[in-house]
Amino acid sequence: MKNFLVVAFFFSVLDGLAIVAIWWAIVSFAHGEYLTVVVVTGFAFAFLCLTASLVLVMRGKVKPSADVSDRGTTIRPDRVVGGLVKWGTIGAYLALATFAIFAPLGKIDIPLPPGNRQYILIVAFAGTIWGIVDVWRTFKRGGVSFIKLGAGGFDMSQGSSSMNGDWDDVVAVTDRRPGKSAPFRAMIFVKFRDERIRSLVVDSYTPGGDAVRRLVRYYWINPDKRDELTDGRAVERLAEFVGTA
Distances (CA, A) of 133 to 63, 87, 130, 140: 28, 15, 5, 10
**What topology does CATH give the domain 145-243?**
PH-domain like (2.30.29)
Q: How confident is the model at residue 7 (pLDDT cuts 50, 70, 90)?
A: low
CA distance 213 to 174: 8
CA 152, 157, 158 angle in degrees (round to 5)? Answer: 160
Helix (H) or strand (E) holding 89: helix 79-102
Please report the pLDDT score of residue 213 as a whole number.
Answer: 95
Question: Rounded to a whole number, what is the distance in angstroms from the first to the last CA of the chain?
Answer: 22
Q: How far is CA 91 from CA 100, 107, 146, 217, in A?
A: 14, 19, 22, 36
Per residue in 180-190, pLDDT (tens digit) is 887 888 999 99
Spacing of C-alpha 75 from chain mean position: 14
pLDDT of residue 6: 58
List the one residue out of 76, 80, 21, 27 whose CA is nearest residue 49: 80
Report CA dihedral (163, 165, 168, 169) to the nearest 10 degrees: -60
Cα separation, 188 vs 180, in Å, equals: 13
Question: Which of these ranges, 75-89, 117-131, 143-157, has the smallest mean pLDDT?
Answer: 117-131
pLDDT digits (tens, 9 = 90+) for 162-185: 899 999 999 999 998 888 887 888
Average pLDDT, the chain: 89
| Closest alpha carbon to 90 in 133, 147, 51 | 133
Q: What is the pLDDT of residue 9?
A: 65
Ordered by start, the domain boundaries in the chain are 2-61+79-140, 145-243
DSSP 182-209: PPSS-EEEEEETTS-EEEEE-TTTSGGG
Residue pLDDT, tens place only, 182-234: 788 899 999 999 989 999 999 999 999 999 999 999 999 999 999 999 999 99
pLDDT tier at 1, thresholds 50, 70, 90: very low
Q: What is the pTM of this model?
A: 0.85
Average pLDDT over residues 78-96: 94
Q: Quick check: 68 and 227 in contact, CB under 8 A?
A: no
